[in-house]
Structure 1
Amino acid sequence: MIDDDHLRPVASTQDGTHPRPQLLRARWVDLSGPWRFAFDDEDAGLRERWWLDWPGTDTEIAVPYPPESPASGVNDTTYHHVAWYRRTLTEQDLAATGTTPGDRLMLRFGAVDFRCHVWVDGHLVGTHEGGHTPFSFDITDVLDPGEAHVLVVRAEDDPHDVSQPRGKQDWREQPHVIWYHRTSGIWQPVWLESVPAVGIDSVHWTATPGSATVTAELRLTAAPSEPVPVRITLTHGGTELAATATMATRADVTVVLSVPALSNGQAYEELLWSPEHPHLVDALLDVGEDRASSYVGIRTAEVARGHFLLNDRPYYVRSVLNQGYWPQSHLAAPSADALRAEAQLIKDLGFNATRVHQKFEDPRFLYWTDRLGLLVWGEAPASFTYSTLSVERTVDEWLAIVHRDFSHPSIVTWVPLNESWGVQHIAREPRMQRYARSLVDLTKALDPTRPVVSNDGWEQVETDIVAIHDYAADPDVVAARYRDRAAIDAMVAGIGPAGRRLVLSGDIADAPVMLTEFGGISYDLDAVDDAWGYSAATSPGDFAKRLQGLLGAVHASGVLAGFCYTQLADTLQETNGLVTADRVPKLPVEELRAIMTGD
């Protein structure tokens, strides 16, 4: 949809295909599709200068699908440390960006796992490390004369390097237990975008309903040589809510907009974002010659008095663990529409939240959780060891993602660590405890607007939410453990369900308690080899009975502030989903919804 006044996309009603949904410009072109491709098992490419002299291979890969996946056309899950990609940037590609004299042409990547080099027309334009984070390069000055230009990417991903943040990617050649096929190389969108020499690099939105303000923190692509005009306009439903103008003299600009509609204490809730009412406020951004669109969700998220609070009110969280993995494309999304369908499916099943597990999800999914109304817990993919290198890599990726996803209203909780992955000896190692505590503090220093769970599951330090993982299959056991605060306090003071201490340090007297992993009932409809789950059902009726028993025990708790059921979809041998790997519900949707909501 195009806004008639400004001839630019309207962010809140976009079609979900733009890789950066909270900073839209009309001038961009998607580089997805066929690229030339070659494995480099001998690591000869750098020595032989493949960026200039492509090896004699005609293999093609469909970008952005990883080479391990069937969707890529390569479908090779064996060990390969290095892969190369090559694509011609045509005159039509460049023309589609609408570049004019004085503009800068940006080459952007959503994610490349794990380390990469990028060349354009034989010139190295940059390198990047971090398999889950976005990056971009200005390629304006390296384009050689001519109608076509050559883009080459070298991706390096050592499957045995356990200091890399890996998440659920298996270090073994074949998937086992809860780990899956690897996702290497380019696995999120690649695109070209034209921007002015001084333009908007990023925007962070913070809404403060209590003071009737919305704050925009702009980071510009460069410090202006002379003051640049900045104008921001907020609209909702065709009505202007706020507008302000200022001048930028530095690369960072903070603009506070007064929103009079929020000052009406009887009507302001009509603008608030929630899963039931996912109102999005459109934002038009003008910085010098740059014209972009964004959106804001006005809401607050915090914890107090044993509750998770959304917009100052207790909000019971009904969440589902989501691996973000597809049989045909692995960690990459099969399509932009598949991300919309995933968010809608979760809502249809009766959940108001999801925890994307051990993965930073594609921003296009976060657009749909913003637009459709679904709370998200943002969780980091873990490394499998503790070392100086693993800490540096984890922190680097975490900082980049907190920056990338800061403005999504659907993200209401940050989870930097899970089940002590990467800090396996945190219960007795003070340095690991300090690391976990520092992640909490660093996250809050960057983003004081959301709660932080220090180590989801157990062995938590300074956590805002006591997040417990408990895969007991007996509903009576679950009911007894979570019937009241006294029962939970007894677990916290002793040993938790997994034989782990639940909380190592911090004041949790007012912290809400959530059962953030439980269930995991395997019901294998596809006759998967080595089907795995925490318990197993043998028929539709048995599956329904087991679900009803566990969810009934959870709903009966007088103290839990929410839950996260394991899990949404079957994933390879892990057959404990509510739906199959192809997202087919194992019971009628209405029945699953009634079980999850407790109706």
Structure 2
Amino acid sequence: MHELSHTNTTEPTSERVHPRPQLTRRRWKDLSGVWQFAHDDDNRGIDARWYEHAETFDQHIVVPFPPESRASGLHATGYHPVVWYRRTISVAPQDREGRILLHFGAVDYRAQVWVNGRLVAEHEGGHTPFTADITSVLSPDEAQEIVVRAEDDPRDLAQPRGKQDWELEPHGIWYHRTTGIWQPVWLEFVPRTFIKTLRWTPDTERGRLGLHVRLNQSPSRPLRVRVRLSIRGEQLADDTYLLHGQEVRRDIELDPVRFKADRKELLWTPRRPNLIDAEISLLDGDIVVDEVGSYTALRSAGVRDGRFLLNGSPYYLRMVLAQNYWPESHLAAPGEGALRREVELVKELGFNGVRIHQKVEDPRFLYWCDQLGLLVWGEMANAYVFTPEAQRQLTREWLDVLERDYNHPCIVTWVPINESWGVPNLEGDAAQRAFVRSLYHLTVSLDSTRPVIGNDGWEVVEGDILGVHDYALDGKTLRERYGSAEALEHTLKAVQPSRRNFYLAGHHRKGEPVMLTEFGGLSHAPTQADRWWGYGTLPDTDALLSRYEEIVTAVLDSPVISGFCYTQLTDTEQETNGLLREDRTSKLDTERVRAINTRVSRALQNDVIAEIHALADERRREQLRASHQMDTVAED
């Protein structure tokens, strides 16, 4: 019997954004919605074989919202370290020609999955995806039973948890917890031999795209991989490669004449998020065995001579810190539209980037950053203690993060650790310094195409960018600290803005760019009945806007600061230091904020030239479009 089964041309089950946008297939089935649910506070479900007893599930939950959230229908905010889910799905006979994969976007923190009473998957890591091939455990009947057990100890400080609170109620800068399923669950129908992973590596200097295709298994005979690339409907490449084993690596050269002539129209930037669409087919002779959709971009990120570089040119980062936490759904977005809207809000405020704080965001959010043009700093959710278990858990999950998000052009920097979280004695413990250094080098070894910051904020051990956290509350202080190269060095060595040593013993400057990666944190006093928290509180919104302009202008006037990240985008739980409220309405005049954020920076004098050229290019394109429309009317 033939080893390979061929793609069924059934129409897609949904027109929504695919839960894995970088590798899509037409045939997938969303499993969001109402599931049966049960708390297991005594942790007896495994011994009692709950995966075989439907009567145990005495509640219902709306997936993918965490049980602590209102959106889930439960709003159970207490300590519940173990929870269970159950759902019956149908798999039609025509869907069993190949293999059936059950995907989970993220389950916090440990997960076990049974299908029809058979254990099919175990996974550790609250922010990263996993997959089970359930083909061999399907019952002959159409109905199939899925059971999920999630374990998330709220008081385990060795577990990478980000800003999820370990206390019963949120305090300080920590928020309500997110337990269990909080990203999409879906079925995917694939052939027996299928494309498992894609990896894109752009080369902006030579106009090439590196491609690594890996199958789920080695085929019994050589197959071919066909790659078709296009941009805005115009074909860039159509190449076919022989695949002898399980994988193939190739450099795809784009038309050199076109690349040289239209380089700006091919490169990805926040102003012009030019994405290259990709169709990858697995061929057995002339028969299509598998076919997936993807996208990539020509974009490079790096540092040199104290500047951040985008596509080889100095680029000033104007970022905002985003918790991406919603009051009704916690770490999960309340709906797909909320993910796109979050990106739009950041851009409307005049920022060109976002630093996702202590959270690995849903791939669909990154998709909209790719599509709409927003730079992202990818950050790991940290633990709070330094133990061998904490090291193991963080490292393993970080590896999964790097693999999942490598292809997104929007991501331009990696940050495995923030503010010494999980390494609380960096200055006094050589083992902790070695851990940060090892994370930096491990990240670079797996992705040498982006800058990496070993520890952001203070206590520099190793990194390509010096990220400084300074919550000075007035422009005068910021100008004193960052008004010259001499003032900067004095600030980092003697002032120590966060009352932490900035340079640890043994670190020597290597020309890294310096950025204020957290500053601001301004709030205004709400009604007396409300509780609030911020780094500095102003009496009203007028005073808040005035102070915001004062400190951002001071940073932009610095000749030695290469970028900033303002704290923060939205109010979150008791933190009321957002530019937006929790419901995403603006506290301040959006146009005023945008005008402040987009002022030319003194650090990059060529900002002025770049802006003039960009506006001139935009006008020329508008004139060409208008001319084309007039010609079309004349022809009609």
Q: Which runs of 5+ in 2 are unaligned?
A: 1-7, 284-288, 601-636
1:135 and 2:130 aligned: yes
* CA distance in 2: counterparts of 1:303 and 1:310, whole angstroms: 9
* CA distance in 1: counterparts of 2:525 and 2:535, whole angstroms: 13
Q: Which of 195, 219, 222 is matched with 1:224 structurally?
A: 219
1:9-158 to structure 2, matched below 5 A, reads: 17-91=17-91, 94=92, 99-101=95-97, 103-158=98-153
* CA distance in 2: counterparts of 1:8 and 1:561, whole angstroms: 51
Render the CA deviation track for 1:451-479: whole Å, top value 9, x for unaligned: 00111100112210010000011221111
* CA distance in 2: counterparts of 1:263 and 1:467, whole angstroms: 38
In structure 2, do the counterparts of structure 1 residues 251 and 170 end up closer, same or farther at CA, with 3 Å as the change threshold?
same
Decide whether the 8 Å contact of 1:215 with 1:254 is kept in 2: yes
1:310 and 2:348 aligned: no
Deviation, 1:327, is 0.3
Q: Which of 255, 264, 270 is matched with 2:265 structurally?
A: 270
In structure 2, do the counterparts of structure 1 residues 387 and 9 end up closer, same or farther at CA, with 3 Å as the change threshold?
farther
Q: Which residue of structure 2 lines up, in the alignment, with residue 370 of structure 1? A: 370
Decide whether the 8 Å contact of 1:16 with 1:337 is kept in 2: no
3-state secondary structure, aligned to 2:561: coil
Residue 565 of structure 2 aligns with an amino acid whose one-letter code is C
Deviation, 1:485, is 1.6
Decide whether the 8 Å contact of 1:413 with 1:453 is kept in 2: yes
Deviation, 1:211, is 1.8
Deviation, 1:529, is 3.9
3-state secondary structure, aligned to 1:365: helix
Residue 210 of structure 2 aligns with an amino acid whose one-letter code is T
1:162-173 to structure 2, matched below 5 A, reads: 162-173=157-168
In structure 2, do the counterparts of structure 1 residues 470 and 257 end up closer, same or farther at CA, with 3 Å as the change threshold?
same
* CA distance in 2: counterparts of 1:597 and 1:9, whole angstroms: 45
RMSD of aligned Cα (Å): 1.8
Render the CA deviation track for 1:228-279: whole Å, top value 9, x for unaligned: 2111111112211112111222223212111114764342221000000000
Decide whether the 8 Å contact of 1:481 with 1:487 is kept in 2: yes
Q: Which residue of structure 1 lines up, in the alignment, with residue 631 of structure 2? A: none
Decide whether the 8 Å contact of 1:379 with 1:417 is kept in 2: yes
Shifted more, 560-569 versus 454-463: the winner is 454-463
1:197 and 2:197 aligned: no
* CA distance in 2: counterparts of 1:15 and 1:151, whole angstroms: 25
Decide whether the 8 Å contact of 2:467 with 2:515 is kept in 1: yes
Deviation, 1:493, is 3.1
Decide whether the 8 Å contact of 1:483 with 1:558 is kept in 2: yes
* CA distance in 2: counterparts of 1:514 and 1:262, whole angstroms: 38
Decide whether the 8 Å contact of 2:296 with 2:409 is kept in 1: yes
Decide whether the 8 Å contact of 1:209 with 1:262 is kept in 2: no
1:530 and 2:531 aligned: yes
* CA distance in 2: counterparts of 1:112 and 1:527, whole angstroms: 38
Decide whether the 8 Å contact of 1:356 with 1:377 is kept in 2: yes
* CA distance in 1: counterparts of 2:61 and 2:43, whole angstroms: 19
Render the CA deviation track for 1:151-177: whole Å, top value 9, x for unaligned: 000111101111110000000000001
Deviation, 1:502, is 1.4
In structure 2, do the counterparts of structure 1 residues 16 and 398 end up closer, same or farther at CA, with 3 Å as the change threshold?
farther
Deviation, 1:526, is 7.0
Shifted more, 231-240 versus 410-419: the winner is 231-240
Q: Which residue of structure 2 lines up, in the alignment, with residue 512 of structure 1? A: 513
In structure 2, do the counterparts of structure 1 residues 220 and 170 end up closer, same or farther at CA, with 3 Å as the change threshold?
same
Deviation, 1:56, is 4.2
Deviation, 1:525, is 4.7
Decide whether the 8 Å contact of 1:72 with 1:329 is kept in 2: yes
Deviation, 1:508, is 2.7
Residue 188 of structure 1 aligns with an amino acid whose one-letter code is Q
1:429 and 2:429 aligned: yes
Computing the radius of gyration from Cα coordinates, the structure with the larger value is 2
Q: Which residue of structure 2 lines up, in the alignment, with residue 3 of structure 1? A: none
Deviation, 1:225, is 2.2
* CA distance in 2: counterparts of 1:67 and 1:320, whole angstroms: 29
Deviation, 1:37, is 0.4
Q: Which residue of structure 1 lines up, in the alignment, with residue 559 of structure 2? A: 558
1:420 and 2:420 aligned: yes
Render the CA deviation track for 1:6-51: whole Å, top value 9, x for unaligned: 98999xxx96621100101000010000000010111121111111
Q: Which residue of structure 1 lines up, in the alignment, with residue 610 of structure 2? A: none
Shifted more, 230-239 versus 326-335: the winner is 230-239
Decide whether the 8 Å contact of 1:522 with 1:575 is kept in 2: yes
Decide whether the 8 Å contact of 2:526 with 2:532 is kept in 1: no
Q: Which residue of structure 1 lines up, in the alignment, with residue 632 of structure 2? A: none
Q: Which runs of 5+ in 1 are unaligned?
A: 1-5
Deviation, 1:193, is 0.2
Decide whether the 8 Å contact of 1:21 with 1:363 is kept in 2: yes
* CA distance in 1: counterparts of 2:316 and 2:278, whole angstroms: 30
1:225-240 to structure 2, matched below 5 A, reads: 225-240=220-235
* CA distance in 2: counterparts of 1:336 and 1:15, whole angstroms: 12
1:540 and 2:535 aligned: no
3-state secondary structure, aligned to 1:511: coil
3-state secondary structure, aligned to 1:393: helix
Shifted more, 196-205 versus 270-279: the winner is 196-205
Decide whether the 8 Å contact of 1:35 with 1:87 is kept in 2: yes
* CA distance in 2: counterparts of 1:255 and 1:107, whole angstroms: 30
Deviation, 1:527, is 6.3
Shifted more, 322-331 versus 585-594: the winner is 585-594
3-state secondary structure, aligned to 1:518: strand
* CA distance in 1: counterparts of 2:389 and 2:560, whole angstroms: 40
1:283 and 2:284 aligned: no
* CA distance in 1: counterparts of 2:444 and 2:18, whole angstroms: 29
Render the CA deviation track for 1:402-453: whole Å, top value 9, x for unaligned: 0000010000000001000000111121111111111111111110100001
Q: Which residue of structure 2 lines up, in the alignment, with residue 581 of structure 1? A: 582
In structure 2, do the counterparts of structure 1 residues 399 and 134 end up closer, same or farther at CA, with 3 Å as the change threshold?
same
* CA distance in 1: counterparts of 2:354 and 2:526, whole angstroms: 24
Deviation, 1:55, is 3.6
3-state secondary structure, aligned to 1:489: helix
* CA distance in 2: counterparts of 1:35 and 1:17, whole angstroms: 22
Deviation, 1:487, is 1.3
In structure 2, do the counterparts of structure 1 residues 311 and 8 end up closer, same or farther at CA, with 3 Å as the change threshold?
farther
3-state secondary structure, aligned to 2:472: coil
3-state secondary structure, aligned to 2:51: coil
Decide whether the 8 Å contact of 2:38 with 2:56 is kept in 1: no
Decide whether the 8 Å contact of 1:167 with 1:359 is kept in 2: yes
Residue 439 of structure 2 aligns with an amino acid whose one-letter code is L
Q: Which residue of structure 2 lines up, in the alignment, with residue 487 of structure 1? A: 487
3-state secondary structure, aligned to 1:174: coil
Deviation, 1:100, is 4.8
* CA distance in 2: counterparts of 1:224 and 1:526, whole angstroms: 67
Identity, in percent, stands at 48
Decide whether the 8 Å contact of 1:243 with 1:257 is kept in 2: no
1:342-381 to structure 2, matched below 5 A, reads: 342-381=342-381
Shifted more, 423-432 versus 49-58: the winner is 49-58
Decide whether the 8 Å contact of 2:326 with 2:334 is kept in 1: yes
3-state secondary structure, aligned to 2:367: helix
3-state secondary structure, aligned to 1:481: helix
1:253-268 to structure 2, matched below 5 A, reads: 253-261=248-256, 264-268=259-263
Count of matched residue positions in the alignment of Structure 1 and Structure 2: 586
* CA distance in 1: counterparts of 2:233 and 2:88, whole angstroms: 42
1:442 and 2:438 aligned: no
Decide whether the 8 Å contact of 2:112 with 2:150 is kept in 1: yes
Q: Which residue of structure 1 lines up, in the alignment, with residue 624 of structure 2? A: none
* CA distance in 1: counterparts of 2:341 and 2:216, whole angstroms: 34
3-state secondary structure, aligned to 2:19: coil
